[in-house]
A = this chain, B = another copy of it.
Amino acid sequence: MSSSPGSAGVVTPQAYHFEQPLALQSGASIAGYTLMLETYGSLNADKSNAVLICHALNASHHVAGYYADQPKNIGWWDNMVGPGKAVDTDRFFVIGINNLGSCFGSTGPMHTNPATGKPYGAEFPVVTVEDWVQAQARVADRLGITQFAAVMGGSLGGMQALAWSMLFPERLRHCVVIASTARLSAQNIAFNDVARQAILTDPDFHGGDFYAHGVLPRNGLRVARMIGHITYLSDDDMAEKFGRDLRNGDYQFGYGVDFEIESYLRYQGDKFSDYFDANTYLLITKALDYFDPARQFGGDLSRALAHTKAKFLLASFTTDWRFSPERSREIVRALLSNKRTVSYAEIDAPHGHDAFLLDDARYLNLVAAYFNNIAREFA
Contacts and interface: CB of A to CB of B under 8 A. Distances in A.
A80 to B, nearest CB: 27
A27 B253 CA distance: 9
Interface string A203-227: 1000000000000000100110011
A243 B196 contact: no
Contacts of A226: 190, 193-194, 197
The count of identical subunits is 2
Contacts of A158: none
Interface string A5-32: 0000000000000000000001110000
Most chain B beta carbons < 10 A, residue from A184, A194, A238: A194
B189 A259 contact: yes
A189 B265 CA distance: 11
Interface in A262-296: 262, 265-266, 269, 282, 286, 289-290, 292, 295
Contact of A255 (B230, B251, B282): B282
A193 B244 contact: no
Nearest to A230: B190
A187 interface: yes
Nearest to A219: B201
Interface residues of A, number: 55
A301 interface: no
Chain A: interface secondary structure? Answer: helix
B203 A261 contact: no
Given A202-B219, A244-B186, A197 B266 contact: yes
Interface in A240-254: 241-244, 251, 253-254
A272 to B, nearest CB: 13
Given A196-B255, A286-B255, A189 B244 contact: yes
Contacts of A258: 289-290
Contacts of A230: 187, 190-191, 194
A341 interface: no
Given A230-B187, A239-B187, A251-B290, A262 B193 contact: yes
Contacts of A292: 244
A200 interface: yes
A170 interface: no
A369 to B, nearest CB: 33
Contacts of A238: 185-187, 190
Contact of A253 (B28, B184, B187): B28
Contacts of A193: 226, 259, 261-262, 265-266
B189 A261 contact: yes
Contacts of A126: 253-254
B201 A222 contact: yes
A269 B190 contact: no
Interface string A358-375: 000000000000000000
